[in-house]
Amino acid sequence: MGGAKEHKHKVLWMVLSALLFVAAVAAGYVGIEVRKVVVDENREAFSLSQEFYESEEGLKEISAEEFSRLVAEKKSFLVLGHTLACPMGMPLTTLVKEFSSNHKILIVSLDKENFEQAGLSSKIKYLPTMVIYQEGEIVKYLDGEKNEDLPAYKTLEGLENWVKKYVKI
């Protein structure tokens, strides 16, 4: 008899613990990483919105509000998300500037604070990163945890090859 009662207490404890966890998540006390970016690797490369081509501006720092306007207007564009100090082994900002200059493409840039204000940190875990948007939706982003993305972080050729899989240059 004592064993059945003890089992009921354990089950009750597990159910209550699960309910408390769900309530904590809903209340925002426990953070869970949400990364719902679905990528169709077989999709055809698309064009950016016209204003991002033939640009001499290069890399342009924007605010979270300006970013939100681009998304609301369903623009297709490239975003560099960065911290103020990029690690020496990951010179993504320098590569993006060179890529932008070589291809005359305007790339918008968000520092960490604006990246978070724009809500991107709930989808993308690491900075620096480059994010590709098509018609206001994330198509793909560089993920510092993925070995397949490392060439894009390390060389201009790697970055160009990564972008060209998704965007017409």
Which has more pLDDT, 50 or 32?
50
Which has more pLDDT, 70 or 125?
70
pLDDT band at 30 (very low <50, low <70, confident <90, very high): very low
Q: How far apart are CA 127 and CA 163, in angstroms?
A: 17
Q: How far apart are CA 85 and CA 101, in angstroms?
A: 21
Q: Is a pLDDT exceeding 70 seen at residue 31? A: no
Q: Is a pLDDT exceeding 90 seen at residue 18? A: no
pLDDT number for residue 154: 92
CB of 110 closer than 8 Å to CB of 80: yes
CB of 139 closer than 8 Å to CB of 133: yes
CB of 73 closer than 8 Å to CB of 134: no
**DSSP run (H or E) holding 80:** strand 77-82
Which has more pLDDT, 57 or 75?
75
pLDDT number for residue 79: 97
How does pLDDT run across 78-125, given as a tens digit for each residue? 999 998 765 544 588 899 999 999 999 999 999 999 999 999 999 999
Q: How far apart are CA 163 and CA 66, in angstroms?
A: 23
Tokens of 34: 């949400």
Q: Is a pLDDT exceeding 90 seen at residue 6? A: no
pLDDT number for residue 41: 61
Residues contacting 61, CB < 8 A, separation 6+: 108, 109, 110, 111
CB of 52 closer than 8 Å to CB of 78: yes
Q: Which architecture, in CATH terms, is 50-164?
A: 3-Layer(aba) Sandwich (3.40)
